[in-house]
A and B are shown apart, each in its own frame.
Chain A
Amino acid sequence: MSAPVSSGTFAPAPGAAPLPRQVLAQARMETRLLLRNGEQLLLAIVIPLIVLVGGILAADHIHLNTTGSAVDTLTPGVLALAVMSTSFTSLAIATGFERRYGVLKRLGASPLPRSGLLAGKVGALLFVEVLQAIVICVVAIFLAWAPALTPAAVVGALLTAVLGTAAFASLGLLVAGALRAEATLAAANLIYLLLMAGGAVVLPTETYGAFGHVLSYLPSGALGGGLRQSLLGQGFPGWHLLVLAGWTALGALLTSRTFKWE
């Protein structure tokens, strides 16, 4: 094993970068790619804003059975919608195509471990969600949004957003790891639209009548409900967090059993 001492350009000097640096690089790369994709930006920013502004304008015409003002009720739901679009739809589509184009395979032979890859993805998701939240909150404040800002409300909202991200990300990866890229694209968009319309994300469960109770068990209902409960100052969303934790566990378990890297 006597390696000839070589001072050439390509002389071997192998080694992995420190894990935090790898994760950061991966998160930055994925963030750039997410923001570069036009359709995903539409999903992430434009649709939630249309729902917010359109919902407030329409609230005068269709009488919403809610306690607070239209903007106070709708904004938490629109934030929930934004979380869902990024952590579920964008993540599923991006990961589906990463599988298709052999990106996951190639990264699988790089020093970046799978846990680091996952951490990088989570980092990118959280960064994009913060951007979305800033835009939505600024617009909502212009529309006279007055959220509850007690410590309990803020902590409840943040926990809901984080657990909601975890739940939807695990479900997004479940779809991406099992279906072909095109099927993932279709399924992720379809599920997003169905949940937006009928999943109690934007509108409170009460507005769905007798069916509403069932919806609160969905990750969409729990995410929207938890953010509303917190930001409308109606207390700590313990029940919603429990539902989201349950979905996270289920999604993670199924994903770890079914995810195909190639």
Chain B
Amino acid sequence: MLVDDLVMKYGEKVAVDGLSLSVERHQITAVLGPNGAGKTTTLETCEGYRKPQRGSVRVLGLDPTAQRRELLPRIGVMLQSGGAWSGVRAVEMLQHMASLHAQPLPVPMLVERLGLADCGRTPYRRLSGGQQQRLALAMAVVGRPELVFVDEPTAGMDPAARRTTWELLQELRGDGVTIVLTTHYMDEAERLADHIHVIDRGRLIASGSPFELTRAAGSTTIKLVVTKPFPPGAPASLQSELGDLTEVHPVNEHSLLITGPADATTLAKVSGWCDRNDVLPESLNLGQRTLEDVFLQITGRELTV
């Protein structure tokens, strides 16, 4: 799958702004970004719902709008919400989707795998949010697609349902299905994805495997949280204290993120700086860089809004 220089606008508002990315077969690729970053618009363009206003999109080598009828039987789509009649029973809906495909998966197996057996006869409108999402995932995979698009698959799910969903997605990949998922949960992307595209405001800002993104240049992070707001100019003053090997990113008025080698020297400098500036640390966390940090570092904003 290839997206090349895609631009999508809603009126004056630019949703996708010159986005280019690619997806490898038989992998899980996550499109990670905050709400409103253009993830869903990109996905829906790949699914053929929208025609690219500029640039081009190829999915399984096909043009999703011009060759839609050829493409649709080969892909599975999980929408962010809805997609079923309000009065339809969960299993009935899944059975219906199965009947539109040539060689669908056995419905009872999917029902059991996704824990939908208890609510199989429940009308869609009375399913919980998590049950509706699991049904939507089942509907996306029942036709044995080559490529599955899942839009925020676990938003609002309880931890057990999330685990079930993750396991299913991993098993799909293991069986040769290509998966493209959007998420604003960095732990989801970090844990599931083989490849991550981080997007913000319709642009690709970083791309790579979770390892490449978080362990880039062996850097680690120090997160400094203080009891009262930093004095004015604190990030700059700390930056000059620490030198060029590290980077200081303000998170909010009570916390700072420092990336670079988190060695004893750096720590000593940080605590020395706190002492001289009359700043009382509440916590000082050392860790590997997370995707959250990557996002913050590139955009200057936090991922979870």
Q: Which residues of A contact B (CB under 8 A)?
A: 1, 3-4, 6, 8-18, 21-22, 25-26, 29, 32-33, 36-37, 97-98, 101-103, 105-106, 108-113
Distance from A28 Cβ to chain B, minimum over Cβ atoms (Å):
9
The answer to whether B141 touches A10 (Cβ under 8 A) is yes
Partner of A111, one of B48, B82, B109, B143: B143
Once the chains are docked, how many angstroms separate the CA of A68 from the CA of B103? Answer: 58
Contact (Cβ within 8 A) B69 A113: yes
Shortest 7 CB-CB contacts between residues of A and residues of B:
A102-B82, A8-B175, A15-B102, A106-B83, A6-B176, A109-B77, A25-B99
- For A102, the closest partner residue in chain B by CB is B82
Least Cβ distance of A167 to chain B in Å? 26
* Chain B residues within an 8 Å CB radius of A8: 171, 174-176
Q: Report how far A93 CA is from B141 CA in the complex, Å.
A: 30
Which residues of chain A are near B172, meaning CB under 8 Å? 10
Assembled-state Cα–Cα distance A2/B171 (Å)? 19
| CB <8 Å contact, A101 and B84 | yes
CB atoms of A36 and B87 under 8 A apart: yes
For residue B25, CB closer than 8 A to chain A, the reply is yes
Query: Does B293 sit at the interface, judged by CB under 8 A?
Result: no
Contacts of A10 in B (CB 8 A): 105, 141, 144, 171-172, 175-177
Mask for B69-99, Cβ within 8 A of A = 1, else 0?
1001111010101111111100010001101
Q: List 15 A-B contacts (CB under 8 A).
A: A3-B25, A6-B176, A8-B175, A10-B141, A12-B145, A14-B102, A14-B146, A16-B100, A25-B99, A26-B100, A29-B88, A33-B87, A101-B83, A105-B49, A108-B49
Q: Closest CB-CB distance, A233 to chain B, in whole Å?
A: 42
Which one of A3, A9, A108, A113 lies within 8 Å of B26 (CB-CB)? Answer: A3
A256: min CB distance to chain B, Å: 18
Nearest-Cβ distance from residue A36 to partner chain B, whole angstroms? 6
Q: Are the CB atoms of B175 and A25 closer together than 8 Å?
A: no
| A105 smallest CB distance to B (angstroms) | 7
Chain A residue nearest in CB terms to B168: A10
Hey, which bits of chain B sit against chain A, CB under 8 A?
25-26, 47-49, 69, 72-75, 77, 79, 81-88, 92, 96-97, 99-103, 105, 109, 139, 141, 143-146, 171-172, 174-177
Q: List, in ascending order, chain A residues with CB within 8 A of B100's CB.
A: 16-17, 22, 25-26, 110-112
Known interface pairs A8-B171, A10-B172, A25-B100; A105-B82 also in contact (CB < 8 Å): yes
Indicate if the CB atoms of B79 and A105 lie closer than 8 Å.
yes
The answer to whether B96 and A25 have CB atoms under 8 Å apart is yes
**In the complex with contacts A16-B100, A17-B99, A36-B87, A106-B79 CB distance below 8 A:** yes
B residues near A113, Cβ cutoff 8 Å:
69
Query: Given A10-B141, A110-B72, is A4 in contact with B82 using a C-beta cutoff of 8 Å?
Result: no
**Known A-B contacts A103-B82, A109-B72; A17 and B102 likewise in contact (beta carbons under 8 Å):** yes
Residues of B within 8 A of A9 (CB): 105, 109, 171, 175
A15 touches B69 (CB 8 A): no
> From DSSP, what is the main secondary structure of chain A's interface residues?
loop
A102 to B83, CA, bound (A): 4
Given A9-B105, A12-B146, A16-B73, A21 contacting B82 (CB threshold 8 A): no
B74–A14 CB distance below 8 A: yes
Could you tell me the distance between the alpha carbons of A6 and B146 in the complex, rounded to whole angstroms? 12
**Contacts of A108 on B, CB cut-off 8 Å?**
49
- How far is B73's CA from A22's CA once the two chains are assembled, in angstroms? 12
Asked if B144 and A17 make an inter-chain contact with CB atoms under 8 angstroms apart, the answer reads no
B139: A residues at CB distance < 8 A: 106
Q: Is the CB of B176 within 8 A of A33?
A: no
CA of A102 to CA of B93 in the docked complex: distance in angstroms?
A: 13
Q: Is the CB of A11 within 8 A of B176?
A: yes
- How far apart are the CA atoms of A16 and B71 in the complex, in Å? 10
| Cross-chain contact A109 with B25 (CB below 8 angstroms) | no
Residues of B within 8 A of A21 (CB): 99
Q: CB distance A101 to B101 under 8 Å?
A: no
Closest A residue, CB atoms, query B139 = A106
Are A15's CB and B47's CB within 8 A? no
The CA of A157 and the CA of B97, in the complex, are separated in Å by 37
Which residues of chain B have C-beta atoms less than 8 A from A102's C-beta?
79, 81-83
Quick check: B86 and A101 within 8 Å, CB to CB? yes
Check B85–A33 contact: CB distance below 8 A: yes
Q: Are A106 and B77 in contact (CB under 8 A)?
A: yes
A33 and B75 CA atoms in complex are apart in Å by 27
**Given A101-B84, A111-B73: A12 and B49 interface contact (C-beta under 8 Å):** no
A13 pairs with B82, CB closer than 8 A: no
Chain A residue contacts of B47, Cβ below 8 A: 109
Judge whether B85 and A15 touch: CB under 8 Å. no
